[in-house]
């Protein structure tokens, strides 16, 4: 059965991004189907019902913006997903609920990247002369909002991680957030992260779709 995914792609000022690329990727990051937004920033894409690695939106990638990632997307019916694209990319979002934790919480992992920082260090990065941490974001300089199923949740604490990516390191973070009042193991949860890097004045947004076990 085929289902449709539709929505609008904008920047963080609300401007529609016409002719932006929208793709659905399989587990090997290969495009299963792709389209472009129309002159109003709207898109509609049809795909076979199923589970996919990601829905991704991009526009003037690597020169003006990075990407908006919607991870682990389950498409069983027609759905609408709007995407905001900025200079930050929130990559590789994952989450889990630890057993017996007090207070009840969700751990969320992600890697934030800055386009401005990448471009400032591009030649050295391509020559492997610097560590990949140079284009990561420092959360202490960021505005961070996390929501679960449209409910903003409190960030209890976060830990900075140097993730090894041969032969370099990448900045990643592990957040601990409070469980929302609408937490459920019966349906898919939607975790959204929004970042504003005050150091570069860049914004980014990323989303994870996940079904937690009871």
* 24: number of Cβ within 10 Å: 23
**CATH number for position 64:** 2.60.40.2190
Split at pLDDT 50, 70, 90, the class of 143 is: very high
State the residue for tokens 């997307």: 73
195 lies in the same domain as 120 = yes
Q: What is the pLDDT of residue 129?
A: 77
Strand blocks (E) in the chain: 2-11, 21-25, 31-36, 42-48, 50-58, 67-75, 79-80, 83-85, 88-96, 105-114, 142-148, 151-152, 155-165, 168-178, 189-197, 202-210
**In a 3-state reduction of DSSP, which class is residue 198?**
coil
Residue 211 C-beta-side C-alpha neighbours within 13 Å: 6
Q: What is the pLDDT of residue 100?
A: 87
Total domains, the chain:
2
Bond into 8 cis (ω within 30) = no
pLDDT in tens, 152-177: 999 999 999 999 988 889 999 999 99
* 173: number of Cβ within 10 Å: 22
Q: What is the pLDDT of residue 102?
A: 87
Judged against a pLDDT cut of 80, whether residue 187 lies above it is answered with yes
Host domain of residue 207 = 88-214
Judged against a pLDDT cut of 80, whether residue 214 lies above it is answered with no
Among 86, 115, 146, the domain-final residue is 86
CA 167 to CA 154: how far, in whole Å? 35
pLDDT in tens, 5-18: 999 999 999 999 99
CA dihedral sign, ordered 93, 213, 146, 191 = positive
69 lies in the same domain as 102 = no
Q: What is the pLDDT of residue 166?
A: 82
Which tokens is 18 given?
């016409």
Task: Please provide the average confidence, as pLDDT, over all residues in the chain.
Answer: 95
**CATH number for position 212:** 2.60.40.10
**In a 3-state reduction of DSSP, which class is residue 199?**
coil
41 lies in the same domain as 108 = no
pLDDT in tens, 66-114: 999 999 999 999 999 999 999 999 999 999 999 988 889 999 999 999 9
């Amino acid at each position: 059965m085929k289902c449709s995914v539709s929505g609008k792609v904008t920047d963080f000022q609300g401007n529609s991004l016409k002719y932006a690329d929208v793709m659905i990727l399989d587990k090997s990051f290969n495009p299963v189907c792709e389209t472009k937004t129309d002159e109003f920033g709207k898109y509609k894409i049809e795909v076979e019902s199923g589970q996919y690695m990601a829905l991704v939106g991009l526009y003037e990638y690597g020169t003006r913006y990075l990407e908006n990632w919607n991870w682990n997307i389950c498409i069983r019916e027609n759905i609408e997903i709007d995407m905001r694209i900025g200079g930050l990319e929130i990559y590789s979002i994952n989450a889990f609920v630890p057993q017996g934790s007090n207070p009840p919480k969700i751990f969320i992992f992600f890697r934030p990247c800055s386009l401005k920082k990448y471009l400032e260090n591009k030649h050295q990065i391509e020559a492997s002369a610097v560590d990949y941490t140079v284009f990561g974001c420092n959360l202490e300089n960021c505005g961070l909002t996390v929501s679960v199923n449209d409910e903003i949740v409190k960030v209890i604490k976060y830990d900075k991680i140097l993730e090894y990516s041969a032969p370099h390191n990448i900045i990643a973070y592990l957040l601990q957030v409070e469980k929302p009042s609408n937490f459920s193991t019966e349906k898919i949860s939607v975790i959204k992260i929004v970042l504003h890097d005050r150091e570069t004045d860049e914004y980014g947004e990323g989303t994870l779709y996940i079904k937690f076990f009871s």
